[in-house]
Amino acid sequence: MSERDDMLPPDEPLGPDEEGEVLAAEYVLRLLDPAAEAEARAREADDPAFAKRVARWRAEFSALDAEVVPVQPSDLLRRKVERRLFGGSEALAGARPGVGLWQAVAAVFAAATVALGLLVFRADAPPPVFPDRPPVALPQTPPRLVTTLDAADGRAAFIVVVDQAEGTLQIARTVDPPPTDAEHQLWFLDDSGVPESLGLLPDAPVFTIGVDPDTLERLREGVLMEVTREPAGGSPTGGPTGTVIGIGSAQPL
């Protein structure tokens, strides 16, 4: 390939801008040795300009993901993931030293049977629902509604789960919080035709806000919700005034 070297720029030292750009690409491609990689990771966290280069390379290269051919996983993988995240491991932890092998095996098997239901006996069973154990954050108590608040680009900006039983809104934020001089404010609109505030949103990626029972009663299927950007302290008018960050209608979960 030496005859084609003239197609590339002459081998001169890179400028600081190019150096940062190449380092970001090498970091994304995982070409750096462990020490340099750790350094780049720290820089990604501390240096917004570098983080932006990294994000841009990630986005560019991710277009190549289209070349990856999907492969169906074994059903064993689903069961392993299920058990690891949602149950079964407790049984292993509970098998104390001194318990005989067969007792331990029986305990694990019993727990797996409970967790996986008939799947243990029916390898060709349809994909199992993840076992109905107490969830990490959400009680599985109906009725619940979910509203996906889409940003202008169509991607989800907020996910709002209305939990009637708990009287709360559980919210995941998938966009950055506003700058310090602004707020994200959540609104809903029902048949009354007047948008009403559900509150100012914290900066955390996941949070819960309480809703008074009268308002909760009005959060039904089809109700519109939106988040707008408002001045510090919230909308001065009592209604939405700023840019819409995300909007969507409530659907049964």
Among 13-21, 42-50, 97-105, 111-119, the segment contacting other proteins (CB under 8 A):
13-21
| Secondary element (H or E) of residue 90 | helix 89-94
**Stretch binding other proteins (CB under 8 A), from 97-105, 106-114, 187-195, 210-218:** 187-195
Q: Quick one: which segment of 76-84, 97-105, 112-120, 229-237 binds other proteins (CB under 8 A)?
A: 76-84
| Phi and psi torsions of 192, nearest 5° | -60, -25
Sketch the per residue contact string, 36 through 75, with other proteins: x for CB under 8 A, - otherwise. Answer: -------------------x--xxxxxxxxxxxxxxxxx-
Report the nearest approach of other proteins to the CB of residue 88 (Å).
Answer: 14
Query: Can you name the residues that pair with 247 across neighbouring β-strands?
Result: 150, 226
- Report if residue 113 touches other proteins, rule: CB under 8 A: no
CA distances from 27 to 8, 34, 46, 58, 244 (A): 22, 10, 15, 10, 35
> Cβ distance 119 to 128 under 8 Å?
yes
Task: Determine if 215 is a binding residue for other proteins (CB under 8 A).
Answer: no
SS (H, E, C) 5-63: HHHCCCCCCCCHHHHHHHHHHHHHHCCCCHHHHHHHHHHHHHCHHHHHHHHHHHHHHHH
| Nearest Cα to Cα of residue 198 among 162, 152, 173 | 162
**Is residue 203 a contact residue for other proteins (CB under 8 A)?**
no
Q: What is the Cα–Cα distance from 187 to 234, expressed in whole angstroms?
A: 11
Residues 229-248 that bind other proteins (CB under 8 A): 239-240, 244, 247-248
Considering only residues 107, 114, 175, 200, which one is a binding residue for other proteins as defined by CB under 8 A? Answer: 175
123 binds other proteins (CB under 8 A): no
Shortest Å distance, C-beta 173 to other proteins: 8
The yes or no reply on residue 142 touching other proteins (CB under 8 A) is no
Exactly one of 114, 146, 182, 216 binds other proteins (CB under 8 A); that residue is 146
Element holding 183 (H helix, E strand): strand 182-189
**Out of 95, 195, 201, 230, the residue judged to bind other proteins by CB under 8 A:** 195
Does 148 bind other proteins (CB under 8 A)? Our answer is yes
CB of 113 to other proteins, least distance (A): 19
User: What six digits make up the tokens of 184?
Assistant: 């994200």
Contact at 8 Å (CB) between 214 and 113? no
